[in-house]
Amino acid sequence: MLHKKIQHYIRQHEMWKPKDLILVSVSGGVDSMTLLRVLYHTKAMHKGILKVVTFDHGLRDESKDEVEMVATYCRQYQIPYKIIPLHLKKSTNLMEIAREKRRIHLEAIDSFRIVTGHHMNDQAETILYRMLRGSGLDGVSGMLPVQGKYCRPMLNVQKDEIISYAKLHQIPFVDDPSNSKSMRGKLREIFSHLEDIYTFCCR
């Protein structure tokens, strides 16, 4: 079960202690919404105090509806939340600017840990990206379960597990169409070709 894998990973890496304030960064996508659902329904086990932050990037008309979806979910379960507008403008390095603005806002909020929904597939994409950039061995090692204030409870979970769990529990989520044009979107295309090559070579 997905929630058991996540709880085991939290305990294994001692991500937080009882009554620590855990700031969950929720985009409205399937990964972060699934993580939020798991953390809420297992709070008796991990004993962290949850607070949600979601960002309105202001780049698409749908942005307001997406953050409101997150807010509605939080109100349903009485989870404290904050919506932060970023007022971004389109530019060539938009993704990097957005990531940096999110980081600044998240780290300005008092919390013990900042929790993100990165998973095993994100890890593979990160390692491939760093390899393509010519990173050394340290860079190729990828994301850590705990890194400073940040922690990633789903690094031991695959994307298809997350999607199956979301469907099973009817978790609301949105797909951002801009993701396919992002760096990670292009890396996912590469991985789909690698899987075809692996299948061809190993059959």
pLDDT in tens, 72-104: 999 999 999 999 999 888 888 888 899 999 999
Provide the pLDDT confidence category of residue 197 given band limits of 50, 70 and 90.
very low
Give the tens place of pLDDT for each residue, 22-73.
999 999 999 999 999 999 999 999 999 999 999 999 888 788 899 999 999 9
Average the pLDDT over each of 5-14, 59-68, 88-97, 121-130 and give the range with the smallest value. Answer: 121-130
Contact by Cβ (8 Å): 23, 103: no
pLDDT in tens, 134-165: 656 555 667 899 999 999 999 999 999 999 99
Q: What is the pTM of this model?
A: 0.84
- Residue 7's pLDDT band, with cuts at 50, 70 and 90, is very high
Rounded to whole angstroms, the Cα distance separating 97 from 176 reads 17
Q: Which of 53, 47, 52 is nearest to 15 (CA)?
A: 47
SS (H, E, C) 8-58: HHHHHCCCCCCCCEEEEECCCCHHHHHHHHHHHHCHHHHCCEEEEEEEECC
Kindly state the average pLDDT of the residues 157-178.
Answer: 91
Instruction: Give me the pLDDT at residue 8, please.
Output: 97
- Report the percentage of the chain scoring pLDDT > 90: 65
> In the predicted model, is pLDDT for residue 199 greater than 80?
no
